[in-house]
Amino acid sequence: MVNFIGTYECKADAKGRFMMPSGIKKQLTPIIQNGFVLKRAVFQPCLELYPMAEWNKLMEKLNGLNRFNRKHNDFIRRFTAGVKPVEVDSSGRLLIPKDLIQFAGISKEVTVSSAVNIIEIWDKTKYEKAIDDAANDFADLAEEVMGDDTSELLS
């Protein structure tokens, strides 16, 4: 399993290409030849870049859903809407398809941020706003999500 580290800023050109930051590119080196999947995020106006192995694990979970259950079928359709296979080219650039640029509102300034096993791609202004908006609630969120794990104290 890949665990990415870091947040980086870069610039996109008029075609939607940006140079993958060197800190991320180094982390991608062992898996770059397998390709990636780029998709809309579920909760935020950003894009998610999945290494192919991580995408395949996620697809195994989705394959376990019942396509004859309307909610499952609707979820699969919405989750995979706009999904695109992408590659980092030999120059280290990633081309973001136009429909995904529009979804994320990406302009010239881009923030590339690690999110455990995937990479988020944001318009810089939207990223900074999301971080600022969440700052006040983060302590409560951290306590709620991570604070109740007493299992390590007991072992």
Question: Tens digits of per-residue pLDDT, 48-84?
Answer: 999 999 999 999 999 999 999 999 999 999 999 999 9
- Helix (H) / strand (E) containing 102: helix 98-104
What are the CA-CA distances from residue 69 to residues 60, 61, 73, 153 (Å)?
17, 15, 6, 41
Round the average pLDDT of the chain to a whole number and report it: 90
Residue 155 located in a structural domain: no
Q: What is the DSSP string of 29-60?
A: TTTGGG-EEEEE-SSSSSEEEEEHHHHHHHHH
pTM of this prediction exceeds 0.85: yes
Residue 41 located in a structural domain: yes
Residue 2 located in a structural domain: no
3-state secondary structure of 107: coil
Domain count, the chain: 1
DSSP state of 8: E
- Helix (H) / strand (E) containing 153: helix 151-154
Q: If pLDDT is split at 50, 70 and 90, which confidence band does 90 have? A: confident
Tens digit of each residue's pLDDT (9 = 90 or more) over 25-44: 999 988 999 999 999 999 99
Q: Whole domain around residue 133: which residue ranges? A: 7-145
In this prediction, residue 147 carries a pLDDT of 82
CATH number at residue 120: 3.40.1550.20
Q: Amino acid identity, residue 78? A: R
What do you get for the CA distance between the two ends of the chain, in Å? 26
